[in-house]
Amino acid sequence: DAKTTQPNSMESNEEEPVHLPCNHSTISGTDYIHWYRQLPSQGPEYVIHGLTSNVNNRMASLAIAEDRKSSTLILHRATLRDAAVYYCILVSGGDSNYQLIWGAGTKLIIKP
């Protein structure tokens, strides 16, 4: 079965870039890589997702390795509001076999 592995926690200084890694060495060709983040006592919030090519949006960038066995979520300039647990998730399937493989999450600590 596919699996996603993330570091338990990371620290970064405010206003510096943050690179959050995720390993998914057993990813299949049709699995999408999603990232969500969760603040305390709240539901997860969408950050970014992609399949093969790197992706950019207003929140972050997603760098996907050429072999797709790993990916990195990049926050270009972290703020205190970015402190959260970041989940890397493999999403696959359609109507009948839809599946999400959640990583354990990385707790991002931002130091002022």
Partner 1 sequence: GAVVSQHPSWVICKSGTSVKIECRSLDFQATTMFWYRQFPKQSLMLMATSNEGSKATYEQGVEKDKFLINHASLTLSTLTVTSAHPEDSSFYICSARKGGPRAREKLFFGSGTQLSVL
Stretch that binds partner 1, among 11-19, 41-49, 58-66, 69-77 (CB under 8 A): 41-49
100 binds partner 1 (CB under 8 A): yes
> Quick check: 73 and 85 in contact, CB under 8 A?
no
Give the Cα separation of 82 and 71 in Å (integer). 19
Give the Cα separation of 15 and 110 in Å (integer). 9
109 binds partner 1 (CB under 8 A): no
Give the Cα separation of 68 and 77 in Å (integer). 25
Stretch that binds partner 1, among 19-27, 61-69, 73-81, 99-107 (CB under 8 A): 99-107
Choice between 17 and 93, CB closer to partner 1: 93
Six token digits for residue 2: 């596919």
105 binds partner 1 (CB under 8 A): yes
Give the Cα separation of 57 and 76 in Å (integer). 11
Please select the residue that binds partner 1; options are 43, 53, 66, 67, rule is CB under 8 A.
43
Q: Which residues are near partner 1 by CB under 8 A?
A: 30-32, 34, 36, 41-46, 49, 51, 87, 91-95, 98, 100, 102-105
